[in-house]
Structure 1
Amino acid sequence: MKRPLWAAAALLFCSSAASSATITWPNGQKAAVSLSYDDALNSQLDNAIPALEQHNLRGSFYLTLASDVVSARLGEWRTAAANGHELGNHTLYHPCSKSQPGTDWVLPFNDMDKRTRAQMRAEVMLANGYLLAIDGQQERTFTPPCGHTETSDGNYLPDVRDLFISIKGAETSLPKGFSSLALPDGQSGKELIDFVKREAKDGGLIQIIFHGIGGDHLAVSSEAHAELLTFLDANRDIYWTDTYRTIMRHVNAQQPADK
């Protein structure tokens, strides 16, 4: 069964109160688009990055640092970062809540229900250190695995917020309702484009969280992905497509005017 193409931020994470400031984009575009790719998958290196670079677009890649694909292809991730792609934090081991539906695959040591907030902070900090060794970047963004944030002693996001310039789906510097999230799983290029067009009507930030591209899990085809990139490339005057880190730097820089 396909997951819904669109999802409100509240469905994934509990967002904090946001600024009521109006956000504008660098060249007067109608909306910003963040293309991100979770879990450090082979198909992202093989298919997603070449397609992005063909269109001179850049994406955000949230690495699960214990993945074999990170260690086996470390040089390629380093090259991706040098070419302008963002490497984001997706923890070391990708912990999720085993009490949630569809998480039978979660190993006992990765069960968020048995983790503590302090343990999660320690893991996230270590992941940041690993990422620093790969790309030399100090500013980082974070996507919580599975969108699960509750540990045995509460929500851990407040304990790690100081480590990041933004946390995907839990942004504190975006006006309420300003961001929309999609998690594609098998959708066509037309469906992806229609989602962008629909969500851009009111402006704001459109976030598409991919996993596999032409392979691996929760995949969309390389053709569908390429169709979306072609559309975004051809409509740069309407949609500002950039890394989540760059977009959120831009958003955060506008906040002092609202104070």
Structure 2
Amino acid sequence: MKKLLTAGLLFLINHALIAQVPAGWHGKKCAVALTYDDALQVHLDKVIPVLDSLGLKGTFYLSGNFPGVRARLNDWKKAAAHGHELGNHTLFHPCTSQKPGRSWVNPTYDLSKYTVPRIVDEIRMTNTLLAAIDGKTQRTFAYPCGDTKIGDVDYFAQVKNDFVAARGVTTEMRRASEINLADVGAYGMNGESGEEMIALVKKAMETNSVLVFLFHGVGGEHNLNVALPEHNKLVRFLKQHEKEVWIAPFIDVAQSVNQTNAKPNKSGR
């Protein structure tokens, strides 16, 4: 009798734990998206070969006027054909100069001097460019420098219907029910060790959260940089824990969050 009671208790505990895991995450504990900004050539030469060797897919945010796009169009096309997401990072990567430490902003592409119609046109032109590369119509967006407004105007609101979601730069991980798909938080990486990045994944697993990594340089080419061996420790850990972690392009994670949040709860609300 004691064995039966113990077995029954274990069944109820396991069932309760399974019920807590979002169905949209394929029954796994958390969702992780690996995102890479600015169309750097190290993404093509160093990151994508590692991801491909492990069967993992990343999201690469391209600004159409950047050298890494103009010089490597065919390589980005191949990356998309292998299942990596190409996201919209605007045409000229405009950032506002009206924040501390922004003296480097090119006056020609100072977001604070933009009009809303100008940024809307440039974002939509970038969607056209990306569609010519990968043939896709569904897309996600990443705010250059994390700047979301021109003056007091939320410019993404003007193009929100053109996108599945937008990735921001707020350092946070949240459960699906808490996520604002117009500004999804992300952990920007700069000098972190593999162990520090793995600790974030473990926290996401414990809290059933969505964790978005934001990389620039990986092994060089940007002043915001993570050493390639440290990056590779992270992705190898993710591969080793695929049974517990859903690793997917940002667009897939966002679509899953949207579907999960669209479902009525048990009270019918």
Which range, TM-score by smaller chain?
0.7 to 0.9
Q: Which entry has the higher C-alpha Rg, 1 or 2?
A: 2
Among 174, 177, 181, the alignment partner of 1:175 is: 177
Task: Check if 1:135 corresponds to 2:134.
Answer: yes
Deviating more after overlay: 134-143 vs 194-203: 194-203
Displacement, 1:254?
A: 2.9
Tell me the residue number matched to 1:247. 253
CA distance in 2, matches of 1:199, 1:216: 29
Tell me the residue number matched to 2:88. 89
Q: Which amino acid aligns with 1:199?
A: A
Contact 2:167 2:185 in 1 (8 A): no
CA distance in 1, matches of 2:156, 2:261: 21
Displacement, 1:26?
A: 3.7
Q: Which amino acid aligns with 2:248?
A: D
Contact 2:40 2:217 in 1 (8 A): yes
Among 229, 233, 243, the alignment partner of 2:239 is: 233
Matched position secondary structure for 1:80: helix
Contact 2:24 2:259 in 1 (8 A): no
TM-align CA RMSD:
1.9
Q: Deviations over 1:14-69 (max 9, x none)?
A: xxxxxxxx943343111000000000001111111011111110000000110111
Matched position secondary structure for 2:202: helix
Matched position secondary structure for 2:159: helix
Q: Deviations over 1:207-233 (max 9, x none)?
A: 000011101111101101110010000
Length, aligned pairs only: 236
CA distance in 2, matches of 1:211, 1:197: 22
Contact 2:25 2:31 in 1 (8 A): no
* Identity in percent: 38
CA distance in 2, matches of 1:138, 1:180: 24
Tell me the residue number matched to 2:12. none
Matched position secondary structure for 2:94: coil
Displacement, 1:119?
A: 1.4
Residues 66, 73 of structure 1: alpha-carbon distance in 2 compared, 3 angstrom cutoff: same
Contact 1:27 1:237 in 2 (8 A): no
CA distance in 2, matches of 1:174, 1:125: 28
Matched position secondary structure for 1:87: strand
Q: Segments of 4+ in structure 1 off by > 4 A?
A: 177-180
Q: Which amino acid aligns with 2:233?
A: E
Where do 5+ consecutive residues of structure 2 fail to align? 1-20, 170-174
Task: Check if 1:209 corresponds to 2:214.
Answer: yes
Q: TM-score, normalised by structure 2?
A: 0.83
Displacement, 1:174?
A: 4.1
Displacement, 1:90?
A: 0.1
CA distance in 1, matches of 2:205, 2:159: 31
Displacement, 1:116?
A: 1.8
CA distance in 1, matches of 2:178, 2:255: 18
Displacement, 1:253?
A: 2.5
Tell me the residue number matched to 2:193. 188
Q: Deviations over 1:69-112 (max 9, x none)?
A: 11111100000000000000000000001011222111112111
